[in-house]
Amino acid sequence: MDAALAITIGGLVQGSVFALVAIGFALVYRVTGTVNLAQGAFVVLGALTTYSFEQTLGWPAALAALAALAVAAIIGYLVAVCIFAPGLRRLPPSGMVMLTGGLLTLFEGAALLVWGSQPYQLPPFSGYQPVAIGGAKIPTQAFWDVGITAVVVVALWYVLQRTTFGKALRACAENPSAATLMGIDVERVRVFSYTAAAVLGALSGIAIGPVVSLQFDGGRFFTVYGFISVAIGGMGSFAGALLGGLGLGVLQQLGAAYVSSIFATTLAIALLIVTLVSRPNGLFGRGARREDNRAAAAHPIGVRTRIAPRTARIAFIAAAAVVALLPVFVGGGALSSLSIAGIVFIAVMGLDVLMGFAGQISLGHAAFVAIGGYGAAIATVRYGFPPLAGIAIGLVASLACAVVLSLITVRLRGIYMALATLAFGLLVDSLAVGLSELTGGPSGLTGVPHFSVGGYTFADARSNYYLVWGIALVVFVLLANVLRSDFGRALRAIRTDQTAALALGIDVPRYKLYAFLISAACASLAGSLYAYYFQFLSPDMVSTPRSLEYVTMLVIGGEGSLAGPLLGVLLLVILPTAIQPLNQAKTLFAGVVLVGGLLLLPQGILGVITAAIARKPARAAVHSTPPGSVPT
Amino acid sequence: MTAQPVHGDGAALAIRGLRKAFGGVVAIDDVSFDVPAGTLTALIGPNGAGKSTLFNLLTNLYRTDAGTVTFFGTPLAGKTSDAIARLGLVRTFQTARVFPGMTVLENVLAGMHVSARSPIWAHAFADARARREERTMTRRAEALLDAIGLSAMRDRDATALPLGSQKLVELARAVIARPRVLLLDEPAAGLNDAETAQLARLLVAIHRSGTTVFVVEHNMSLVMGIADNVLVLDAGKLIASGSPADIQANAAVIEAYVGRATAVPT
Ligand SMILES: Nc1ncnc2c1ncn2[C@@H]1O[C@H](COP(=O)(O)OP(=O)(O)O)[C@@H](O)[C@H]1O
Ligand SMILES: [Mg+2]
């Protein structure tokens, strides 16, 4: 009984912190319609800056905490003004999800440089001596954390209901254009709410810092749990965020204590997927903003100018020749990173079919890489299948998952689709760690054989290079052929105007499913090759942060053209290995590239190149014909 | 239960008791009529009369509150919009909806989706028949662009064209699907006089080639010159139908326009 009480109280403590993060989410969502995936980053920022002020500089705890809140406010404000607000002006809601995902990566990368990769824990606010209540020993920090959340909730309620600023904020949330007409500076309210959310995030970090230890990439965890809380409670509802956070905290602790922590995580994510699909407004109603239900959620990012077929053919032959000849000139580490680039290229081409052509954002692409990778690794290591069969097993599993996911998300659009894929990715992450009997758990699965077929084993670096790039080339050609045809036009039509596509007889759900299947197949193939290449697979090689990396490569390279992924992969895989300082700051670099790419270069590098080619005076092929009969 | 009027085999579209309300606004109020096969039928009416809503109901982009639509005898209830297009009922929109990021040629090619037969794997492996089909489609699209004077724009992004040309591209995209019935929502809106004259020739040519054309149009001189049949919708109700001459003489029609819209039909 006492144990149950202690666990429940532990759950409430954790839940009160989830609730704080969730309230930050709800604030930003209500005022801007954006799901701010960077919210968790401020939790880590708050905890680690407090640690530095308190432990390294020796400041008193209260001063250190206040200084950390001030730092979070300044950084939050700068991010809001320089990145978030410009993003809102330029990007559709789905683009904003990617932008904030990029911000999360950027923060992780920066934190890694400042604090390194070791975990930090803050001392409790009032000593380590617990208080005994009815036989259960309760740490004093529990009272602090629940108390802080209660104070924040009351203060927020007061500001929203009783002050002019609160009224302005609510007006912006209900109807931004009407608010503008009423003389409210909408931009200022947006910047303020983002900054306030940053401070709330930092406050949660200071509150949880003594309870759990945090490291540079801990933000993901809070983003995910804060988001699950707010999505279950009801996007944009403060009461829902509070209840969702507390409920999730208790559920998590009870599940972890009585079943297993993997069960608790899986349950939480499953709950999220069910909520997203069945009640996108959350369990407590209040919620989804009107514009999220817009019929045509076009997403105007990507390569606009196409390459002329002849130029494309010449470029393709030149690139193929370079790929074929490179091993003559390079070896060792360079050859190995080129091989990895080839594998990633296959995965990102698949993502391009889904995002760049069909316009469906996926933040869970790595999940299919994981399924293909683990499918192949488990089939060969645990059951002794030959490598080729391993690839086939991975493909079948990936396609089956893609069909199921696509069936349950068929009605979702825009950000909800992006979030459902994110949730799916998280689910696969937790299974990869949790099903340790099969997957080897967090430390990974060793002893995966090299790829071999018909008695030939691809054992050395050079043969692996040719294997990977040979497959990449075949995938490229097959996809290029398909995307150039009626099929590709149907996907591109769906991307920009689903209603017009329907009116032309294009079966939109079916074509989305096809795009999803193709992308899953490419990812799965890449995953299998990954496992054979490294002869090893661990969860972090194929987890959700990789999904964001794939998105980054696609966006910066140029969506909507198969050459874009190649440029993105070269930039993010090859460049950091070639330039050492960049390797140190790889995560930061990826974050900066995604954020910068979305804001400054939405057409990607390829888009810039093709636009430059198109601007050169082209041969004029004008042969006008007078209107005549209709030859149809 | 009211008796359903029997519709002859001649009806391309038979609409019975159609109704649609948005909240309190009844946009289509118990409307029944036929579009006889092979005709060029025009639908006129002041702004907000419910004409676009009617088209959205015919193509199931909106859910009907009551009533039925049959297309050459096939009830359209429960069919998806894309299935309706594949049956041969293809439409354009009041504001041109060409696909951004696709060239003029690609936009027109997208209209041939309904007749594309090659499966995806045939395209992937560059199967000879699939390539031949693509080439044939491209040739047809180019010929049509030639005929409407847009060949020079072939490789331009469709949204970079002037609005009048975008409407022509959208029309070409619908026509090339070889629909049995073509629904056009204000095709002349935003066109200059020369373009309107070209559009009129085009509509007549499409109609002569055997397509039933059902067109919403504000430009009276255009409608009166080419339509066999005119229907008048006002505030969601069908208030008149007949030959262009009948309609021009009809007091109720004149009242609807003079009473509500500033433009008097000429
Ligand atoms: N999606 C919609 N939601 C609410 N009201 C609509 C919608 N579509 C049309 N309406 C209303 O229905 C009426 C008819 O509109 P519409 O069919 O566009 O007229 P028309 O095309 O004849 O100008 C108008 O009052 C319009 O405001
Ligand atoms: Mg209209």
Q: SS in 3 state form for A573-594?
A: HHHHHHCHHHHHCHHHHHHHHH
pLDDT of residue A554: 92
> Which carries the bigger pLDDT value, residue A280 or residue A361?
A361
Please write the tens of the pLDDT for every residue from B173-209.
999 999 999 999 999 888 888 888 888 989 999 999 9
Residue A41 has pLDDT above 50, yes or no: yes
Mean pLDDT over A105-110 rounds to 93
CA distance B197 to B205: 13
Residue A117 has pLDDT above 80, yes or no: yes
ipTM: 0.91
Main-chain phi, psi angles of B157, to 5 degrees: -60, 130
Residue B1 has pLDDT above 60, yes or no: no
CA distance B249 to B207: 26
CB within 8 Å: A625 and B99: no
Please write the tens of the pLDDT for every residue from B65-101.
999 999 999 999 999 999 999 999 999 999 889 998 8
| Residue in the structure block whose two tokens are 């007889």 | A505
**Which of A212-226, A351-365, B147-161, B244-258 has the lowest average pLDDT?**
B244-258
Residue A235 has pLDDT above 80, yes or no: no
> Which carries the bigger pLDDT value, residue A504 or residue A408?
A504
CB A358, CB A571: distance < 8 Å:
no
Q: Residue B21: beta bridge partners?
A: B26
Percentage of chain A modeled with pLDDT above 90? 42
pLDDT of residue A514: 95
Establish whether residue B48 lines the binding site of ligand 1, counting it when its CB lies within 6 angstroms of any ligand atom.
yes
Residue A291 has pLDDT above 50, yes or no: no
CA distance A310 to A618: 13
Amino acid identity of residue A308, one-letter, is A
CB A39, CB A157: distance < 8 Å:
no
CA-based nearest residue in chain B for residue A632: B176
Residue A623 has pLDDT above 80, yes or no: no
pLDDT of residue A500: 94
Please write the tens of the pLDDT for every residue from A509-532.
999 999 999 999 999 999 999 999
Establish whether residue B25 lines the binding site of ligand 1, counting it when its CB lies within 6 angstroms of any ligand atom.
yes
Handedness of CA A505, A507, A511, A512 (dihedral sign): positive
Inter-CA distances, A263 with A165, A254, A256, A389, A540, Å: 43, 10, 7, 31, 19
CA distance A419 to A407: 15
A626 contacts in B (CB within 8 Å)? 149
To the nearest whole Å, the CA of A520 is away from the closest chain B CA by 16
Q: What is the dihedral of CA A51, A55, A58, A63, to 10 degrees?
A: 20
CA distance A40 to A49: 15
Mean pLDDT over B98-112 rounds to 93
Main-chain phi, psi angles of A120, to 5 degrees: -125, 145
DSSP A359-428: ----S-HHHHHHHHHHHHHHHHHTT---HHHHHHHHHHHHHHHHHHHHHHTTT--HHHHHHHHHHHHHHH
Mean pLDDT over A172-191 rounds to 82
Residue A618 has pLDDT above 90, yes or no: no
CB within 8 Å: B120 and A487: yes
Closest CA to A234 of A35, A93, A26: A26
CB within 8 Å: A493 and B91: no
Mean pLDDT over A143-154 rounds to 88
Closest CA to B6 of B241, B75, B16: B16
Closest CA to B252 of B237, B262, A412, A204: B237
Nearest CA to ligand 1 atom 2: B22
**Which of A138-152, A539-553, B164-178 has the lowest average pLDDT?**
A138-152
CA distance A207 to A223: 16
CB A64, CB A53: distance < 8 Å:
yes
Q: Report the half-sphere exposure of B217 (CA within 13 A, side-chain side).
A: 28
Amino acid identity of residue B213, one-letter, is V
- In total, chain B counts a number of residues equal to 266
CA distance A232 to A245: 9
Residue A72 has pLDDT above 50, yes or no: yes
How far does CA B264 lie from the centroid of its chain?
Answer: 24
Helices A414-434/A387-408 angle, 10° precision = 140
Confidence of residue A625 (pLDDT cuts 50, 70, 90): very low
B100 contacts in A (CB within 8 Å)? 298, 300, 496
pLDDT of residue B251: 67
How far does CA A384 lie from the centroid of its chain?
Answer: 34
Burial A26-49 (b: 16+ CB within 10 A, else e): bbbbbbbbbbbbbbbbbbbbbbbb
Residue A296 has pLDDT above 50, yes or no: no
| A535: alpha, beta or left? (left if phi > 0; alpha if psi -120 to 50) | left
Main-chain phi, psi angles of A588, to 5 degrees: -60, -45
> Which carries the bigger pLDDT value, residue A93 or residue B61?
B61
Q: Which atom of ligand 1 is nearest to the CA of B62?
A: 1
pLDDT of residue A333: 83
> Which carries the bigger pLDDT value, residue A425 or residue A455?
A425
**Residue in A300, A493, A499 nearest the CB of B110:** A493
Helices A508-534/A332-352 angle, 10° precision = 170
pLDDT of residue A632: 39
Q: Which atom of ligand 1 is nearest to the CA of B94?
A: 21
| pTM of the complete model | 0.88
pLDDT of residue A201: 94
Distance A502 CA to ligand 1 centre (A): 20
Residue A60 has pLDDT above 70, yes or no: yes
CB A45, CB A67: distance < 8 Å:
no
CB within 8 Å: B100 and A503: no
Please write the tens of the pLDDT for every residue from A370-407.
999 999 999 999 999 999 999 999 999 999 999 999 88
> Which carries the bigger pLDDT value, residue A495 or residue B1?
A495
Main-chain phi, psi angles of B90, to 5 degrees: -120, 145
Helices A238-258/A261-278 angle, 10° precision = 150
CB within 8 Å: B202 and A630: yes
CA distance A372 to A396: 9
Residue A549 has pLDDT above 80, yes or no: yes
Mean pLDDT over A572-589 rounds to 81
Confidence of residue A282 (pLDDT cuts 50, 70, 90): low
CA distance A629 to A618: 31
Query: How many CB atoms are located within 10 Å of the residue A329 CB?
Result: 8
pLDDT of residue A302: 65
Q: Is B26 helix (H, G, I), strand (E, B) or coil?
A: strand
* Helix or strand holding residue A553 (H, E): helix A544-557
Nearest CA to ligand 1 atom 3: B22
CB A236, CB A252: distance < 8 Å:
no
CA distance A238 to A25: 9
Mean residue pLDDT of chain B comes to 88
Mean residue pLDDT of chain A comes to 86
pLDDT of residue A85: 92
pLDDT of residue B266: 43
CA distance A288 to A93: 12
To the nearest whole Å, the CA of A80 is away from the closest chain B CA by 31
Query: How many CB atoms are located within 10 Å of the residue A450 CB?
Result: 16
Amino acid identity of residue B125, one-letter, is F
CA distance A616 to A456: 49
CB A338, CB A574: distance < 8 Å:
yes
Distance A93 CA to ligand 2 centre (A): 29
How far does CA B253 lie from the centroid of its chain?
Answer: 23
Residue B265 has pLDDT above 70, yes or no: no
CA distance B154 to B138: 11
CA distance A286 to A237: 6
Choosing among 3.40.50.300, 3.90.940.20, 3.40.50.10420, 3.20.80.10, the CATH entry for B11-258 is 3.40.50.300
CA distance A535 to A546: 19
Parallel, antiparallel, or unpaired for β B66-71 and B11-22? antiparallel
Residue A48 has pLDDT above 90, yes or no: yes
Closest CA to A406 of A391, A420, A390, A385: A420
Residue A222 has pLDDT above 70, yes or no: yes
Residues with Cβ within 8 Å of residue A617, at least 6 apart in sequence? none
**Residue in A304, A490, A505 nearest the CB of B101:** A304
CA distance A296 to A284: 27
